[in-house]
Structures are given as structure tokens and as C-alpha cells.
Structure 1
């Protein structure tokens, strides 16, 4: 069935919102003081983000492709696998979806934001930061992580036998990426997932929030885009 661009953008909006709500919701559950999952550990976040990607991918994979990531959209467009005329609407839908999903997290956890004094813990439920305070380390981490993510995504979905089965594997890939390579930065692996919530962090009057750290914000935008483009090019060159 062919869906209009508007319907596909609605799918990208909802899919990205679900990913951020489920993924950053798991971060909030671990990082915010007083929650049931407080100090639940990194594996809990990895599981939350893995399933948080898998669910919208399975819901909307056959409708919009469930790209839910500007890095994926741009990488496919650069490789002429996605029309440039639709890139702008997809990116807008993904960004707005990320902001809406983060707003849902804040609404669900508002009392616990008020109880949390650590500004970095609060920011971590919105956006990514490099624990070593190194933009270079953050860039390398985000580039490698997104390269593996996008390379895995195009490989897993290349046969088009049953996209829903492919997206289960994609969710597991995200989970293991968060657990294995995500300890340094968060990670973002997705420009919309980081920049949209970071903008919301900047404007919301949270009680104990600190800086939104926009001096770092270009890293989880540029590195995933470049990593995604390189991954699609590598797959196309050798296996396409």
C-alpha cells in the first residue's frame, strides 16, 4: 500500500516520539531521585532504548520506513535511496516528534525532576554529554556508534523478507550499542533524539537544571550524520 508523504511524516513523528519517550523515559527512571528504578543501572537504559527503537520500527516500518533518525534519512538520500524532496518533511517530523516525546517524559517524571539536585543527571534525561568532557572522544564515539547502527540497519533490512523480523534485530542492535559503546556519551546515535530534547531542556523552567551545554550539541548532530552516510556508502560499495 502506498502512503502519502503526510501520512508517512505522521508515522515518523509518532515513531520518533515513542522512541524518545521510551528511551529517555528509561534514562529518567534510572537517573531521577526517588523513582522506582533509581540507580537501576546502565543495562536497564540499554534495554529501554533497544525496545524503544524496536516498537516504533515494527509499528511504522512498512508505512514510512521507520527511519526515525535524521542520520538515516540523510544517509539514504546521499546514496540516492530516498528522495531529497522528502528529506525536509521527514527531518521536521522527526525533530518535532523528539520534542513531543521528551515533553511526555517530563510530564511523567515532573515530581522526580524537582527532587533531583544533580544538573548532569537532569540533562542526561534530555540529551547526551561526554563524561570525559571531550568533544573529540564524544565525536569518535557517536560516529562509530551510528556507523554500526546504520550499517546494521541497512544490512538487516536489505532482503525485505519480513521487515518486522528485521526490526526486532534492529532493536537488539540498539540495545547492545548502548551497553557496549554508549558508556562515554549516552549515546545519541540520532541528531533529533539529542537536539530536540536539548532545546526543550533549555526552555523548560526545571527547578534544579543547569546548562544545556550547547557548546557540545553539534557533536551528537554532526557525528551521527557522518557515521550514517559512511555506513550506507560502505554497504552500497561492497554489498549493494
Structure 2
């Protein structure tokens, strides 16, 4: 249960800083409005680094069901703990999104764009093409796991793994994230999407549940493939 609580807190920190940078970019009237994709990518990278630092000494800082499942698929994590980690991650992501709702409270009313409001919480493709969108999430998460295993194999990263992981997230965001908003984390998308659905956000639109399966299933498939590929080639 300590590990589950650590994953909850780490994922909450991840979403507070990650969804927070998106909100600051897309909601009307913020001082950071329109900062652009580079700012969002850097913000998410720092969010991951901080989430891992917060939870890493207790749970190794997965803060992502895809990471948990990818490690379990290659025998680096016990399957018996997978449900507890994922439960903590989903709850943490939901709580983090609720906190962002209250932090930006007056800006929801000032923003008319329903897509911008949803984009603060969950991902949406630049061009809706479900096979390509699924492929993007799968490739992005495969690269995440492939590189994470590589980072972990280098002893020079001891103590610096969260920073290295954060830089990896920035790289994925800048290189691969422009197609779907790079969820690469089922909890990061699903927990806040549920928050968007249940919160009384002023003038919100639909939560786009037709698309919601892609940022959940795509990262899971990609994580298993990326982990298996690393073991096959370099393990």
C-alpha cells in the first residue's frame, strides 16, 4: 500500500505540473497564454522528472501504467503488484486534474473554446485518423520504454534518472508528440478525462470518449513492444 500511495502522489504531481502547463497555454487570460508547443513539452518533461523524484524512493516512480506493464512483461516487475500501481496512478491523475480545475477556476468561464478546455485534461489528435493516431501513441510509448531501459542500464545516471527521464519526455514531445499530444500514459489521459466528465466546468463540451481508447490501448501495446525489443536487441 505504501507503493500504491507513492504512485498516487507521484502521478498527482505529474498531472498538476503537466496539465497545468497546458492550461496556462490554452486558457484565456493567463499570463502564459500562447507559450506554444516547446513550452508544453518542457513543462511535461519537468512534470515527469518531479513526479519520479517524489515517488521514486518508495515505488521506483513508474507514474504510468504503460511503464508498469512494460516492466512486468519482461519480468522486471511482479505482476502481483501491477493492479495496485495502476489503481494509484489513476487516482493520482484524477486528483491532480481536479486541483488544476480549481487553480484555473476563473479561466474556464473566460475561455469559449471547448476543445481547449478538454485539451487541458486529455489528449486529442491534430488530425483524426484512428489507425495513425493509435500508431503514434504506440511508437511514442515504445520509444519511451526502450529508452527508459537504456537509461536504467547506465550506472552514471544514478540519482539523475528522473532528470534523464524528463529529458526523454521532452524529446518525445518535440519529435513525436505533435500528432496526438503524446499521452504515452493511460493514467495521464484517462484520469483527467474522467475529471473533465464529472467536474462542473463552465461551458465544457463532450469528453470525446470515442477517442479515449487510443491513449489507453496504444501506450500499453507500445510499452510491451518497446520493452521486448530492448531485451531482444540489448538485454
TM-score range, shorter chain: over 0.9
Who is 2:218 aligned against? 223
CA distance in 1 between counterparts of 2:101 and 2:200 reads 11
CA distance in 2 between counterparts of 1:10 and 1:235 reads 29
1:43-96 deviations in Å (ceiling 9; x for gaps) = 110111000001121232232110000001111112121111111110000000
Query: TM-score, structure 1 length as denominator?
Result: 0.95
Contact 1:130 1:137 in 2 (8 A): no
CA distance in 2 between counterparts of 1:61 and 1:151 reads 19
Query: TM-score, structure 2 length as denominator?
Result: 0.97
Is residue 89 from structure 1 mapped to residue 84 from structure 2 by the alignment?
yes
Alignment of 1:142-181 (within 5 A): 142-160=137-155, 162-181=157-176
Who is 1:66 aligned against? 61
CA distance in 2 between counterparts of 1:188 and 1:112 reads 24
Contact 1:62 1:163 in 2 (8 A): no
CA distance in 1 between counterparts of 2:101 and 2:214 reads 24
1:167-223 deviations in Å (ceiling 9; x for gaps) = 211101101211221111112010000001101111112111111000000000000
C-alpha deviation, 1:162, in angstroms: 4.7
Alignment of 1:1-240 (within 5 A): 6-160=1-155, 162-240=157-235
Structure 1 portions without partners, runs of 5+: 1-5
Specify whether residues 169 and 162 from structure 1 end up closer, same or farther in structure 2 by C-alpha distance, changes over 3 A only. closer
Give the aligned length.
235
Pick which of 60-69 and 84-93 moved more.
60-69
Who is 1:3 aligned against? none
Backbone CA RMSD of aligned residues: 1.2
Contact 2:9 2:54 in 1 (8 A): no
Structure 2 portions without partners, runs of 5+: none
CA distance in 1 between counterparts of 2:157 and 2:119 reads 35
CA distance in 1 between counterparts of 2:217 and 2:116 reads 24
